[in-house]
Amino acid sequence: MGKNQLLEEMKKDMLREIQVAVKEIKLDESDEVCYISLLGTDYEPVLGLITLGIKSYRDKMIKEEHPQELWYLWNSGEMPVEYQVGLEKVLSSFQEKQEKFVEQIGDNEWEEYWEACQDVRFEVAYQLNSLDWSGILPVTSDFVLFSDWEAIDVENGDLERSIPKEKLLILKESSLA
Instruction: Give the pLDDT score at 41.
Output: 95
Residue type at 36 in one-letter notation:
I
Report the domain count for the chain. Answer: 1
Decide: 79 and 57 in contact? Cβ < 8 Å: yes
Among 75, 70, 24, CA closest to 53: 75
CA dihedral 172, 74, 80, 21 (to 10 degrees): 90
pLDDT for res 13: 98
- Amino acid identity at 40: G
pLDDT at 111: 86
Sign of CA dihedral 45, 50, 51, 52: positive
Helices (H), 74-149: 92-105, 110-128
pLDDT of residue 160: 96
Measured between alpha carbons, how far is 49 from 39 in angstroms, rounded to an integer?
5
Report pLDDT for 106.
Answer: 83
DSSP 73: H
Residue 141 domain boundaries = 3-173
106 backbone φψ class: left, alpha, beta (φ>0; ψ -120 to 50): left
C-alpha to C-alpha distance for 168 and 162, rounded to whole angstroms: 10
Q: For the chain (length 177 residues), average pLDDT per consecutive 10?
A: 94 98 97 98 95 98 93 96 96 95 87 93 98 98 97 94 97 95
Q: What is the pTM of this model?
A: 0.94
- Dihedral angle over CA of 133, 138, 139, 144, nearest 10: -50
CA-closest candidate to residue 147, choices 7, 20, 56, 50: 50
| Predicted local confidence at residue 107, as pLDDT | 79
Q: How many CA atoms lie within 13 A of 168 on its CB side?
A: 13
